[in-house]
A and B are shown apart, each in its own frame.
Chain A
Amino acid sequence: GENVEQHPSTLSVQEGDSAVIKCTYSDSASNYFPWYKQELGKRPQLIIDIRSNVGEKKDQRIAVTLNKTAKHFSLHITETQPEDSAVYFCAASRANSGYALNFGKGTSLLVTP
């Protein structure tokens, strides 16, 4: 089955700096890669996603890049703010498994003022 590795497990940055979280996956059939943000005590919520036919996608301060050949994808957050503090999960999935998500273990991001 699919194995998703996520690094780092914790990340602390100063407000205004950039944060980068990296994930690798093992199943070359995976074709959909979402990122979820989970605030303390809350449910995970989608913040950005990318499909395998796209190399990069951006939405305001967040961007995701995908390298299919190397089987890795990354989340980039620029101009971080304290409200970006949360746990971030990457995931990989494929259409023929109903897009059931295989998650990384999560990155706890702390943005200090």
Chain B
Amino acid sequence: DADVTQTPRNRITKTGKRIMLECSQTKGHDRMYWYRQDPGLGLRLIYYSFDVKDINKGEISDGYSVSRQAQAKFSLSLESAIPNQTALYFCATSQNTEAFFGQGTRLTVV
């Protein structure tokens, strides 16, 4: 079944560490997105990519960077993690309008 897969599913890291969250998809979609979910705040867009050569900042890109290594892979990096980046992170893909989400990565920064 075509899907969106995130790794790791859970991660605890220390303040100041660099961490990468990975997303891969077998749906063949061109567009990929990274969202962050915090209780009471909904999902907020961090970065999005139309294709390998097109990366765009979202609403809350500060402190994050991304890499689109291939059509199927889109990674999110926290250069120097801080506690307020503790959240549930979702990757999503779309080809037209409907977005399909990965299972999420729960990140805790201590």
Contacts and interface: CB of A to CB of B under 8 A. Distances in A.
A43 B101 contact: yes
A52 to B, nearest CB: 12
Most chain A beta carbons < 10 A, residue from B41, B44, B101: B101
Contact of B98 (A1, A49, A100): A49
B50 interface: yes
A89 B98 contact: no
Interface string B29-64: 001010100001111110010100000101100000
Contact of A49 (B41, B92, B97): B97
Contacts of A9: 40
A46 B44 CA distance: 17
B97 A103 contact: no
B13 interface: no
A99 B90 contact: no
B94 interface: yes
A32 B97 contact: yes
Contacts of B94: 98-99
Contact of B42 (A43, A45, A98, A104): A104
Most chain A beta carbons < 10 A, residue from B42, B45, B96, B99: B42
Contacts of B71: none
Given A43-B104, A106-B42, A101 B99 contact: yes
A99 B31 contact: yes
A99 B96 contact: yes
Given A6-B42, A100-B56, A105-B40, 4 more contacts: A34-B99, A44-B43, A99-B94, A99-B99
Contacts of A100: 33, 45, 48, 56, 58
A78 interface: no
A103 B43 contact: yes
B103 to A, nearest CB: 6
Interface in B80-97: 90, 92, 94, 96-97
